[in-house]
A and B are shown apart, each in its own frame.
Chain A
Amino acid sequence: MSEPTRGRIHRAWRRIYRSVFRIGWPRTRQQRLAAMLSSLALHVHPTRVRVHVLRFSSTLGLGLVAFYLFLILIVTGLALMLYYVPHPDAAYRSMKDIQFAVTFGMFLRNTHRWAAHGMVAVVFLHMCRVFFTGSYKRPREFNWVVGVLLLLLTLALSFTGYLLPWDQLAFWAITVGTSIVAYFPLVGEPARYLLLGGHEIGQAALLRFYVLHCVILPLLMASLIALHFWRVVKDGGLAAPPGRMRRAPAWPHLLFRELLILVFVLVLVHAAALAFDAPLEQIADAARTPNPAKAPWYFLGLQELVHYGAILGGVVVPTAMIIALLVLPYVDRRGGGVGVWFARERRRANTVFALLAVVVVVLTVIGTFFRGPNWDWVWPWLR
């Protein structure tokens, strides 16, 4: 190749490359700041981050982990959608196909399931972190509300996904779950009818859950996540105590940490998917109730309460908890203790929240492990 031709190719390649990445690989401090601003994916970050929030102990990276799990769920979910058929005659068979007739299908399904379960747990822990560090205080009140909505969306996504395998586990968990919905005064029965597209869990219900799970709820979720992230930056970055203002450039300090957490999440989820298979019981059968019939584990705390009284566990407690979470930042307006774990001036609020969180966890553990046939008490180690 002649010298002028090589030069022309090189210049053309540079033009194309520069049209995509205007800054190129940034080498100076100035270029790194510019790179953070010029890329869509990067500009949701601030260009410089307070050193305090870079420390792993201040956030535990939980919000980021939840986001990564959401991304894993989108990718694996799309792949599963290529095989899954949302019809009662075909759904269960397509699940069997995914497990036994698709290369890496079982692994795909395991990854999706464990990432989903992990996301419920991590979003809950993220909420606890934000509370215990007082990070919902002014000016971050609204972002806390968005976070509560994201928690509810996570639960809704998990719940709608639970029906899709169309096995006994799915069918009866959704039977119990949608019956709880019907207990809400006035709106309960119509809401259940609308959700199921009829009176029973059949073809209409499966299709509705499928569309909610694969389109409507993920779109809502992605929009709210964008809002949540944008507000983090607009509200002055992650919460940190007022004094410590030292900042570091986001490239490389923040990006490196984010990458590290991504690797950590990928390894953990894939290890879980290799080690544990997602359960698939017998095909859904409305004539045969398994004993005991349990809701998904994150609703077993509610089911345990529902065992004492349907109105109490199904309506009063969850509604009160959601309302309390939504109004919390507007009620607790005292300043102080922001960005610090278990600040002394917030001892009372932290104690109340910790007690409630422990109650939720204990009820969930009881419902999951200590309840057997007829919802009688069992000792799990004696089974």
Chain B
Amino acid sequence: MSEGPPRRRVVLTLGTAGLAAGGLGLLAALARSVVPDVLYEAPRRFPIGRPEDYPPNSVTLLPERRLFVFRTAEGFHAISAICTHLGCNVNHEEGHGFVCPCHGSTYDEDGDVTNGPAAWPLPRYAMSLSRRGELVVDTRRTVDPDFRLRA
């Protein structure tokens, strides 16, 4: 390629570069196309019913949402039921916190790790009241353990 008149060399170089750029672009487009833009998943922010559906001083598991809803004297709060270790559903043991059946991680009532392989606390999700008076959980927003929703 280095032989021949300079003009031919330039054309060849440009051609090769163009071909390489085009090929890389195609590959990049292919790679980008396999990253989904639209997800047909359950919404991350959802209503969970009216406050009076939850008896005072109760812990309710919403299995479909993989979520625990607490109602105490101070108000409502929600803790994820998905173990932060490897994604199994934790069980709640009254007064003792949460236990994961997969690898034995344990958490206290606030969702903080007390034992086992889990490295992070169970996420505590933001709650609010909709205009229609429904409790709403937003799993995209986590809150401090002392968060309570008065309702």
A: which residues have CB within 8 A of B? 172, 175-176, 178-180, 193-194, 197-200, 202-204, 286-293, 303, 306-311, 373-376
Complex alpha-carbon distance, A309 and B105, angstroms: 11
Nearest residue, chain A, Cβ from B64: A287
Tell me the count of chain B residues lying within 8 A, CB to CB, of chain A. Answer: 24
Offer 9 A-B interface pairs, CB within 8 angstroms, sorted by A.
Answer: A194-B35, A198-B40, A203-B40, A288-B63, A293-B102, A306-B103, A310-B118, A374-B99, A374-B100
Which of these binds chain A: B14-22, B48-56, B81-89, B141-149?
Answer: B81-89
Q: Please list the 7 inter-chain residue pairs (A to B) with the smallest Cβ-Cβ separation, ordered nearest first.
A: A287-B63, A291-B101, A179-B86, A289-B89, A179-B87, A289-B88, A198-B39
Contact indicator A310/B101 (Cβ below 8 Å): no
Complex CA gap A373/B104 in Å reads: 9
Which residues on A sit within 8 Å (CB–CB) of B85? 179, 306, 310
**Interface of A (DSSP majority class):** helix
The residues in B between 75 and 122 inclusive whose CB is less than 8 angstroms from any CB of A are: 85-89, 99-104, 117-119
User: Is the beta-carbon distance between A204 and B102 smaller than 8 angstroms?
Assistant: no
Chain A CB within 8 A of B41 CB? yes
Report if B66 contacts A (CB, 8 A). Answer: yes
Does B1 reach chain A (CB closer than 8 Å)? Answer: no
Given A287-B63, A288-B89, A310-B86, 20 more pairs with CB closer than 8 A: A175-B87, A176-B86, A176-B102, A178-B87, A194-B34, A194-B35, A198-B36, A198-B39, A286-B66, A288-B63, A289-B88, A292-B101, A292-B102, A293-B88, A306-B86, A306-B103, A307-B103, A310-B119, A375-B102, A376-B104
A374 and B101 in contact (CB under 8 A), knowing A287-B64, A289-B89, A309-B117?
Answer: yes
**Contacts of B119 on A, CB cut-off 8 Å?**
310-311
| Inter-chain contacts of A291 with B (CB < 8 A) | 101-102
Bound form: Cα–Cα A172–B100 in Å:
13
Q: Which of A175, A199, A288, A306 contacts B117 (CB 8 A)?
A: A306
**Shortest Cβ distance from residue B55 to the other chain A in the assembled complex, whole angstroms:** 21
Set A172, A204, A288: member contacting B36, Cβ < 8 A: A204
